[in-house]
Amino acid sequence: MTPAGPRPDGPPPEGAALKRLAAKLPPGFLLGVSTSSYQIEGGSASRGAAGWDIFAARPDTILDHSNALTAADHYHRMPEDVALMKELGVDAYRFSISWPRVQPLGKGAVNPEGLAFYDRLLDELLEAGIRPMATLFHWDTPWALEQAGGWTKRDTAYRFADYVRIVGEAFGDRVADWVTINEPATLALEGYTLGVHAPGRALWVAGARASHHLLLGHGLAVKALREVPVKGRIGISNAHTPVFAASSRWSDRFAARNFDILSNRVFADPVLRGKRAPGLVGLGVRLSGTPRWGDAKIIAQPLDFYGVQYYFPSRVAAGPPRLKIGTPDSQTKAMLDLPMRLEPWPEYGVTGFDWPDSPDLVPVLLGHFADRYGSKLPPVIFTEGGASYPDMPNRVGAINDADRIDYLATHLSAALTEVPGVKVEGYFVWSLLDNFEWAAGYTQKFGLVAVDPDTQERTTKASFAWYQRLLAARTH
């Protein structure tokens, strides 16, 4: 492990700016880092197959033709990674639990080694004084369930609740915060509707069914955790993007409205308001899935916090994509047939993924929550925020990722802006480690720590040292 700290050719000390940001942090504001099981763990011989294993093995699904069978080998290097977080000085760590590691077939027999791994992780974290936030599902659907239809099947939501109960019973005394599902919108849209993520299905009807069952799975999971009962707080993590029409033309305004519903409302309205999101206009697509009487109530379980993941805003125009929507990785016919597209934002710089870097829109996004959900909005935690950059090492091997430092400083500062009706309680940087960035493979690096794909050596970047200084500079 390469130690953190000032490096030759490092960025100039931020001094005053860093102190100002530290002073802006309210008492008790949680600062953390976030990862997910599939993206870092590897250790694939000790778990059941995930849908992503099968998807990544298909030709042309992953940009660099890689897979996550080893990933950052966190499964074998977990104590070293927790030591890194201790050195960093974070309050909290958001990780995810791999369903196929706990239940290799997604139902039935439990893998004791799998549970033992998370048991050790929790012990290490608590020993290091780091507050554990566990996500129960971050897209690694067990392959056995995926083969039977995955989230298009209602049964998957019930199998998910069974798994959640197992995990809740095992760790309910030690996990401080639970996230049921990570970004269900991304899975429903990219995995089931556009086919650019696992399981690679590309049908609106599959996406609509998956959406409903993910919502149901979320509600059943909250119920299961409360029934156990677990000690920690419970929430969900949804991706959000403030949406604007590219022009005042009605076609662009309708496209923007549809995009807003798909990105921001399908998973927030039923959870926070107990109401289905409005229908899409002019697309001939129904989003309702196959709800049954009583589902809406299960889905709208009261939450202790609402996890928001903000990466970029969306300027939407009608017409087929010129720029790909979401991640610039594999393309499918369904994706290219989409009747809406994202337009560039010349006024903003972009990150490695070509995503506009626009911290000024964070308070705007928070304002949208206040308008839409009013008193029904629980305290917000940014459960992810961060940026990929090329991160070229300099001649002495140091990674001086000044652009990431700037991104994190400005986005965190914006997240602290007072917005009436919204209480923001924390910010988790995505991500601790460079990892398997889904369909982009290892081509996009989000980590505060670089991981050598051959040796697995961890090297802290300048952003790690920056975050460390910020954490240490807090006055309360």
How many other CB atoms are found less than 10 A from the CB of residue 138?
23
**Which residue, judged by CB position, is nearest to ligand BGC in the bound state?**
183
In the block, which residue shows the tokens 């991304």? 186
> Could you give the CA distance from residue 266 to residue 262 in angstroms, rounded to a whole number?
6
Residue span binding ligand BGC (CB under 6 A) among the ranges 162-170, 181-189, 456-464, 467-475: 181-189
Query: Judged by CB under 6 A, which stretch of 43-51, 81-89, 178-186, 468-476 contacts ligand BGC?
Result: 178-186
| First-to-last C-alpha distance (Å) of the chain | 30
Q: Which of 384, 391, 401, 434 binds ligand BGC (CB under 6 A)?
A: 384
Closest CB to ligand BGC among residues 39, 459: 39
Question: Any catalytic annotation for residue 190?
Answer: no
Active-site pick, 146, 190, 384, 437: 384
**183 in contact with ligand BGC (CB under 6 A):** yes
- Give, in order, the Cα–Cα distances in Å from 123 to each of 128, 132, 174, 360, 428: 9, 10, 9, 39, 21
CB 137 within 8 A of CB 180: yes
Stretch that binds ligand BGC, among 17-25, 180-188, 247-255, 278-286 (CB under 6 A): 180-188
Q: Is 41 in the site for ligand BGC (CB under 6 A)?
A: no
Identify residues 352-371 at the interface with ligand BGC (CB under 6 A). Answer: none
Question: Is residue 182 involved in binding ligand BGC (CB under 6 A)?
Answer: yes
Q: Is the dihedral of CA 139, 435, 351, 412 positive or negative?
A: positive
CA–CA distance, 456 with 446 (Å, rounded to integer): 16
117, exposed or middle or buried, with CB in 10 Å at 0-12, 13-18, 19+? buried
Distances (CA, A) of 166 to 117, 224, 437: 14, 9, 28
Q: Which residue, 137 or 467, has its beta carbon nearer to ligand BGC?
A: 137
Distance of closest approach, residue 307 Cβ to ligand BGC, in angstroms: 10
User: Residue 87 catalytic?
Assistant: no
Of 118, 122, 90, 44, nearest to 448 by C-alpha is: 90
36 binds ligand BGC, rule: CB under 6 A: yes
Which residue in the set 41, 124, 190, 437 belongs to the binding site for ligand BGC (CB under 6 A)? 437
DSSP 64: T
What is the smallest separation between the CB atom of 138 and ligand BGC, expressed in angstroms?
Answer: 6
Of 41, 183, 190, 437, catalytic: 183
- Which residues of the shown chain bind ligand BGC in the complex (CB under 6 A)? 36, 39, 182-183, 186, 239, 309, 384, 430, 437, 446
Q: Which residues are catalytic?
A: 183, 384
